Amino acid sequence: MNYLFAPSSEPIEYDECGQLYSHDTFIHIKRSMDVFVLILLCNGTLFIAQNQNLYELHPNQYVILFPGQEHYGYLPSTPGLSYYWCHFRFKNNEYEIISEQAAKSIVHKNTDKSAANFTGYLLPETGTMYNADKPSLIFRLLMDLSQQNYFSKYQGNYALSLLILEIMNETLFNSENGIMNKTAYNVKEIEEWIHANCITKLSVHDVALHFGYNVNYLSSLFKRHTGYSLNKYIYISRISIAKQMLLNSSDPIKKIAINSGFSDEKQFMKTFKKTENMTPSQYRNLYYKKHFSPQLR
């Protein structure tokens, strides 16, 4: 896999962004552009190729399409496909496309295994975000900003730079691509499994049983590495999924509550307000705006 690397002394140069929503069968056109294209899946499956690499993207997965490299859809997507997209550049074309080995070397030289001490933009060509809340909100805020009369490209540059840093933090330092010890990796695997299974009637005992740990030991280990109890993390994962549903669908609150793993609407409303300091309806009204476009950009 290739990596994108660029210095972070200057913000990334924003071009334009939006959200594609297709009511019909969709296949990406074949083209080559002079800008980077970032695609983050919301719903459905996108089949896209870059040169000879074929990618099958699912919700919360992204791909970066490089300038001057041909990309195209290799299979059609079913109706209901939705994804965020953004076009951007680096000032004076100061960037490199490097190998995974070179990327790991850069990380080892510039950090003590903490994202806080890393300088630069470094992103895998494609990746999965198990918590896409912040990137999704930044995308929406960027779309909102770009439609305001007072919007300037400087605002777009800094908002986009924040978006890229959020994706970098999640995919580079908080995933299997990251630099972490074995214990931290095991904890991250547990986080990912919880996120994938939290819509079921999942309990702390179920998690411990699946990974072969004593309940008390696993609870202590998990909290030491994440700052959350297992039970709280299960609820946080459910809320994260519910927030995506609130942003990307018009489903009623009751349906979203059940589909995100809560036993009933009342429990969902109580947990959501405690976690987000607002009701689900208030959250939807604050961030849900129709930026959908059936046209490819």
> pLDDT by residue (tens digit) across 225-266?
788 899 999 999 999 999 988 988 889 999 999 999 999 999
- Under 8 Å between Cβ of 197 and 47: no
| Range in 62-71, 127-136, 169-178, 265-274 the model is least confident about | 169-178
User: Helix, strand, or coil here: 152?
Assistant: coil
High-pLDDT (> 90) share of the chain, %: 49
Q: Which of residues 83 and 228 earns the better pLDDT score?
A: 83
Domains and CATH numbers, the chain: 2-179 (2.60.120.280), 182-287 (1.10.10.60)
Instruction: For the chain, state the CA radius of gyration.
Output: 20
pLDDT at residue 174 above 70? no
Q: Is 129 exposed, middle or buried (0-12, 13-18, 19+ CB in 10 A)?
A: buried
Between CA 223 and CA 203 the distance in angstroms is 16
> pLDDT by residue (tens digit) across 94-146?
999 999 888 878 776 765 444 455 678 988 899 887 677 788 888 988 888 88
Give bridge partners of residue 87 from the DSSP assignment.
16, 37
The 8-class DSSP code of residue 116 comes to G
- pTM as predicted: 0.65
- For residue 160, which amino acid is it? L
> pLDDT by residue (tens digit) across 17-52?
999 999 999 999 999 999 999 999 998 999 999 988
Between CA 247 and CA 281 the distance in angstroms is 11
* DSSP states of 260-296: TT-SSHHHHHHHHHHHHSS-HHHHHHHH----EESS-
Closest alpha carbon to 244 in 132, 129, 127: 132
